[in-house]
């Protein structure tokens, strides 16, 4: 079957997604999530998704949740949606309890396994849910997810599954209608050469969490400054030929980070593009200015009185930034007043660099224009 003939599916949870209550066992408990009708109507009008409900309803048919208490409100919900011309192609509800460990219970996929066939395009399909188990279901199905709860922390293993985390159905309909400003800006870079083996996961709109390890203590310390002060979420590791020296590991780490930032920025619509920052540290002050111009250029006006910081050769600091600039295709200017302590000078440079990046990648709310008169960055 040709890929464009394959059907796309929007799997939709019920409780916490269509209605607010987690156990709707009476008509009084039906209360709809804001904008659910408007959003599903928009998606149904503009896009080509099958709507498939996937819900766990714990213990329906037991004395504490009799079938009659379940089915009346369920039919009322579906009828109200139909009244708004929102029609589900398929309804899948599991009645088991968590301890039953049923194969039909989310995040297990037995209820909807038939969608993992050649007839459907799971890579273009989504699951809308309010829990991490819904996102895990999406991962298990090979589709992506919209997590309708902004307060949840997304674990690393689901970061590539969650396309959007939001409190509003309107964001979901806008996303599916192609609104770039809602795109999650992240990238995964894997590089393997005879000298290094690298993996980096990077998300620009993060909180400054994660860790990067290289086996070089000083460099790891500087990379944690980048994470903290850029507020990017970064998980990474470089396994390099440290038995030779620090050179390849430092250079390739900078290249991988630059590639990840460039990829996560996408077409750069609606970003500030320029960022500058000065950072003081005791007897030194460092300045960084960055322009995600699409062109690499590099000016470095700093020197170090100490030849090595710890075991790390000071000259590799310049090389790190130059390699980043080349890979991220950015103009990068760095300068620092040399104080007595090269560790401080280096740390101030890394902090200023991270904070300048944070400003440059910032999205301007409501702006989807390219920050260039050339029409390309």
Q: Which residues are catalytic?
A: 13, 15
The window from 5-13, 169-177, 271-279, 358-366 that contacts Mg ion (CB under 5 A) reads 5-13
| Nearest residue to Mg ion, scored by beta-carbon proximity | 16
Quick check: 330 and 274 in contact, CB under 8 A? no
One symbol per residue from 210 to 249: x for binding Mg ion (CB under 5 A), - otherwise; what is it? ----------------------------------------
Burial 247-271 (b: 16+ CB within 10 A, else e): bbbbbbbbbbbbbbbbebbeebbbb
Q: Applying CB under 5 A, does 13 fall inside the site for Mg ion?
A: yes
Site stretch for Mg ion (CB under 5 A), options 9-17, 140-148, 216-224, 282-290: 9-17
Q: Among 16-24, 261-269, 274-282, 321-329, which window interacts with Mg ion (CB under 5 A)?
A: 16-24
Shortest distance (Å) from residue 143 CB to Mg ion = 17
Q: According to CB under 5 A, which one of 16, 142, 294, 296 is a site residue for Mg ion?
A: 16
- Identify which of residues 107 and 236 has a Cβ nearer to Mg ion in the complex: 107
Residue 353 sits at φ, ψ, to 5 deg, of -60, -45
Shortest distance, position 16 Cβ to Mg ion, whole Å: 4
- Alpha carbon separation from 209 to 54, 151, 232, 237, 279 (Å, rounded): 33, 16, 7, 14, 21
CB-wise, 130 or 252, nearer to Mg ion? 130
Sign of CA dihedral 179, 180, 186, 189: positive
- Write the CB contacts of 130 (distance below 8 Å, at least 6 apart in sequence): 13, 15, 16, 17, 147, 148, 149
Of residues 15 and 259, the one with the C-beta less far from Mg ion = 15
Question: Could you give the 3-state DSSP secondary structure of residue 311?
Answer: coil
Name the H helices within the chain.
Answer: 36-46, 67-83, 132-141, 169-176, 217-230, 247-265, 315-328, 342-360
Residue found under tokens 């005791």: 282
Among 10, 11, 12, 15, interactor with Mg ion by CB under 5 A: 15
- CB of residue 293 to Mg ion, shortest distance in Å: 45
CB nearer to Mg ion: give 73 or 240: 73
How many chain residues interact with Mg ion (CB under 5 A)? 4
Q: How far is the CB of 73 from Mg ion (least distance, A)?
A: 15
CA–CA separation, 263 and 185 (whole Å): 8
Beta carbon of residue 199, minimum distance to Mg ion (angstroms, whole number) = 33
**Between residues 132 and 361, which has the closer beta carbon with respect to Mg ion?**
132
Residue 125 Cβ vs Mg ion, minimum distance, rounded to whole Å = 18
- DSSP string for residues in 71-137: HHHHHHHHHHHHHTT---SEEEEE---GGG--TTSTTS-GGGGGGSSTTB-GGG-EEEESSHHHHHH
Site for Mg ion in 116-135 (CB under 5 A): 130
Nearer to Mg ion, 13 or 171 (CB): 13
Binding footprint of Mg ion on the chain (CB under 5 A):
13, 15-16, 130
């Amino acid at each position: 079957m040709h890929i464009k003939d394959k059907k796309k599916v929007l799997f939709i949870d019920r409780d916490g997604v269509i209605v607010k209550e987690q156990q709707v066992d009476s008509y009084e408990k039906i209360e709809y999530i804001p904008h659910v009708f408007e959003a599903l109507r928009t998606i149904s009008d503009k896009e080509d998704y099958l709507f498939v409900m996937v819900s766990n309803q714990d213990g329906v048919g037991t004395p504490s949740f009799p079938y009659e208490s379940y089915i009346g409100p369920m039919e009322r919900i579906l009828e109200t949606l139909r009244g708004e011309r929102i029609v589900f192609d398929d309804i899948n509800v599991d009645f088991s309890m968590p301890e039953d460990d049923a194969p039909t219970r989310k995040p297990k996929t037995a209820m909807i396994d038939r969608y993992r066939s050649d007839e459907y395009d799971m890579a273009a399909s989504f699951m809308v849910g309010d829990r991490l188990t819904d996102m895990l279901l999406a991962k298990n199905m090979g589709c992506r997810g919209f997590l309708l709860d902004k307060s949840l922390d997304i674990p690393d293993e689901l970061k590539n599954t969650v396309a959007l985390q939001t409190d509003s159905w309107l964001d979901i309909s806008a996303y599916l209608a192609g609104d770039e400003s809602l795109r999650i800006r992240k990238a995964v870079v894997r590089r393997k050469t005879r000298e290094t083996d690298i993996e980096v996961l990077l998300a620009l709109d993060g909180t400054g969490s994660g860790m990067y390890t290289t086996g070089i203590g000083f460099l790891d310390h500087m990379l944690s400054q980048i994470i903290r002060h850029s507020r990017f979420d970064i998980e990474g590791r470089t396994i390099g030929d440290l038995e030779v020296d620090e050179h390849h590991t430092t250079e390739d780490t900078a290249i991988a980070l630059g590639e990840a930032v460039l990829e996560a920025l996408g077409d750069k619509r609606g970003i500030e593009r320029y960022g500058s920052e000065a950072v003081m540290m005791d007897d030194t002050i460092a300045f960084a200015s960055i322009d995600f111009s699409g062109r690499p250029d590099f000016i470095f006006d700093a020197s170090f009185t100490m030849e090595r910081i710890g075991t790390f050769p000071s000259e590799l600091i310049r090389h790190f930034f130059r390699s980043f600039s080349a890979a991220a295709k950015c103009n990068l200017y760095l300068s620092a007043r040399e104080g007595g302590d090269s560790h401080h000078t280096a740390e101030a440079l890394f902090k200023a660099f991270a904070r300048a990046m944070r400003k440059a990648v910032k999205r301007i709310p409501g702006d989807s224009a390219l920050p260039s008169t050339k029409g390309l960055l």
